[in-house]
């Protein structure tokens, strides 16, 4: 098998634009310095790289102040900074959903164990969609946070964060959005969506390298968030405490500058192509997959059947195959690279009734996935399913 088709973009995107590796190589060979740690030319260039990348991210999500773009090491890092920095009082209450990732579930479980934090996991329907009104009904007088995954990393369902954000704002409850599967795939406008905190990685749909991520903090909200990390910033070194101003309040230590160089190049690629155009193409891939698999016997596709209610993340099962076995067949016999298991989202698999069988096999698309790749995947699934007797 010489043909290999990468369909695991929900884990990390591949391939990256050629400009990403070129930018990282240029940084390694010609700059190399840490931002804010010197007044020589290379250190200044590193600082300018960091500032320009914040500006590009702000442009991407329509943020008004680039200094409210906090550079993190991945989406999990940003979510942890948000959750741990906000939920600090014993016996607080937090609302999340059964579709959320362990990046949210595990910090909350730790807070539940250590601070007695109460957690409400709002249920989803069979397509992985949450009713915003159920979130409204879950709010209590001591609710400290609503944390919601925007796009499911299991079945691609996209939650209505505009409606949920309005509910959170009406009840004066902070709202955190995990945009790991949507930032770069679809438009996010923090000026129109009532979001206080938005976390996303640089290495998925933004097409940047691993080790990069973002936490957006709404202007004026930073005072409600306690820093989780303290340390060197290259600024106000005479102070014994972390600087209060943004973004230094939430960034300690040297940045992953070489990764940010790659992210800067990726953002330029994304913005030049246009998020709307990327989203339109993603919807076309979704439509092709849904139409092609709709009548394949013994194949189950999870998540919404309408492209406008999802991103290109598909969980599947074929009767007679364990998820890991199916993934092995897809790679070994057909060159399709997928991911099998529970995908770090056990409650989502419980909601979809796939937990008991070890989860699903996941197919996820990216900007470099072609329609022909999806058609080949559909034909492959039909061929495998045809070999399986009904159970």
Last residue of a domain, one of 234, 256, 273: 273
* Residue 24 located in a structural domain: yes
| Shared domain check, 232 and 313 | no
Residues 289-309: what's their mean pLDDT? 97
Which one-letter DSSP state was computed for residue 358?
A: T
- In whole angstroms, how large is the CA radius of gyration of the chain? 21
With cut-offs at 50, 70 and 90, classify the pLDDT of residue 36: confident
3-state secondary structure of 338: coil
Q: Say if pTM beats, i.e. exceeds, 0.85.
A: yes
| Shared domain check, 230 and 95 | yes
* Residue 336 located in a structural domain: yes
| Shared domain check, 324 and 244 | no
| Shared domain check, 124 and 27 | yes
What span, in angstroms and rounded, lies between the C-alpha atoms of 70 and 248? 9
| Shared domain check, 117 and 79 | yes
* Residue 151 located in a structural domain: yes
- Domain CATH number, residue 314: 3.90.1150.10
What span, in angstroms and rounded, lies between the C-alpha atoms of 238 and 242? 10
Contact 348, 360 (CB under 8 A): no
Better pLDDT: 38 or 62: 62
Q: What is the mean pLDDT of the chain?
A: 96
Percentage of the chain lying above the pLDDT 70 cut: 99
Last residue of a domain, one of 218, 249, 273: 273
pLDDT for 238 equals 87
| Shared domain check, 338 and 313 | yes
Last residue of a domain, one of 245, 273, 301: 273
3-state secondary structure of 298: coil
| Shared domain check, 303 and 243 | no
Cβ neighbors of 235 (< 8 A, separation 6 or more) are: 36, 243, 248
Percentage of the chain lying above the pLDDT 90 cut: 92
Residues 255-263: what's their mean pLDDT? 97
Does pLDDT of 188 surpass 80? Answer: yes
pLDDT for 38 equals 87
| Shared domain check, 341 and 222 | no
Half-sphere CA count of 82, side-chain side, radius 13 A = 36
Contact 332, 1 (CB under 8 A): yes
* Residue 391 located in a structural domain: no
pLDDT for 390 equals 46
Residues 48-55: what's their mean pLDDT? 97
| Shared domain check, 263 and 293 | no
Strand 93-97 and strand 143-149: pairing? parallel
- Domain CATH number, residue 138: 3.40.640.10
* Residue 335 located in a structural domain: yes
* Residue 153 located in a structural domain: yes
| Structural domain of 375 | 5-15+274-386
Does pLDDT of 158 surpass 60? Answer: yes
Bridge partners of 337? 6
For 318, phi then psi, to 5°, come to -115, 130
**Domains held by the chain: number:** 2
What span, in angstroms and rounded, lies between the C-alpha atoms of 114 and 118? 11
| Shared domain check, 104 and 63 | yes
Residues 374-387: what's their mean pLDDT? 96
| Shared domain check, 309 and 231 | no
* Residue 50 located in a structural domain: yes
Residues 135-139: what's their mean pLDDT? 98
Q: What is the pLDDT of residues 69-100, one digit of tens each?
A: 999 999 999 999 999 999 999 999 999 999 99
pLDDT for 1 equals 56
| Shared domain check, 323 and 241 | no
Cβ neighbors of 370 (< 8 A, separation 6 or more) are: none
Contact 43, 35 (CB under 8 A): yes
What span, in angstroms and rounded, lies between the C-alpha atoms of 351 and 150? 16
Does pLDDT of 391 surpass 70? Answer: no
With cut-offs at 50, 70 and 90, classify the pLDDT of residue 388: low
Cis link prior to 152 (omega < 30° from 0)? no
Contact 170, 184 (CB under 8 A): no
* Residue 227 located in a structural domain: yes
What span, in angstroms and rounded, lies between the C-alpha atoms of 391 and 379? 21
Does pLDDT of 347 surpass 60? Answer: yes
């Amino acid at each position: 098998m010489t043909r290999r088709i990468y369909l695991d973009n929900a884990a990390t995107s591949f391939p990256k634009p050629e400009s990403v590796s070129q930018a990282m190589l240029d940084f390694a060979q010609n700059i190399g310095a840490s931002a804010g740690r010197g007044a020589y030319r290379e250190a200044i260039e590193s600082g300018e790289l960091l500032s320009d990348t914040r500006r590009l991210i702000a442009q991407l999500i329509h943020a008004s102040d680039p200094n409210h773009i906090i550079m993190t090491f991945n989406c999990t890092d940003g979510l942890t900074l948000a959750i741990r920095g906000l939920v600090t009082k014993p016996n607080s209450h937090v609302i999340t959903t059964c579709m959320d990732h362990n990046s949210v579930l595990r910090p909350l479980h730790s807070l539940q164990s250590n601070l007695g934090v109460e957690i409400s996991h709002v249920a989803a329907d069979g397509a992985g969609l949450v009713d915003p009104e159920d979130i409204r009904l879950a709010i209590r007088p001591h609710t400290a946070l609503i944390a919601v995954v925007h796009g499911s990393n299991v079945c691609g369902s996209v939650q209505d964060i505009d409606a949920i954000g309005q509910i959170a704002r009406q009840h004066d409850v902070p709202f955190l959005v995990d945009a790991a599967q949507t930032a770069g795939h679809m438009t996010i406008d923090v000026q129109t969506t009532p979001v206080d905190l938005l976390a996303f990685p640089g290495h998925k749909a933004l097409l940047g390298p691993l080790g990069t991520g973002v936490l957006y903090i709404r202007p004026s909200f930073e005072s409600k968030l306690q820093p989780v990390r303290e340390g060197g910033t290259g600024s106000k070194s005479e102070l014994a405490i972390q600087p209060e101003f943004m973004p230094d309040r939430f960034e300690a230590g040297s940045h992953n500058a070489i990764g940010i160089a790659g992210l800067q190049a990726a953002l330029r690629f994304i913005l030049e192509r246009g998020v709307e155009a990327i989203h339109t193409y993603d919807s076309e891939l979704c439509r092709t997959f849904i139409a092609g698999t709709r009548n394949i016997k013994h194949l189950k596709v999870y998540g919404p059947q309408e492209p406008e209610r999802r991103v290109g993340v598909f969980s599947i099962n074929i009767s007679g195959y364990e998820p890991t076995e199916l993934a092995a067949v897809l790679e070994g016999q057909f060159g399709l690279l997928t991911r099998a298991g529970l995908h770090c989202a056990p409650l989502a698999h419980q909601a979809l009734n796939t937990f008991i069988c070890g989860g699903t096999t996941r197919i996820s698309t990216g900007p470099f996935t072609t329609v022909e790749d999806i058609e080949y995947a559909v034909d492959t699934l039909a061929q495998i399913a045809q070999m399986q007797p009904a159970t």
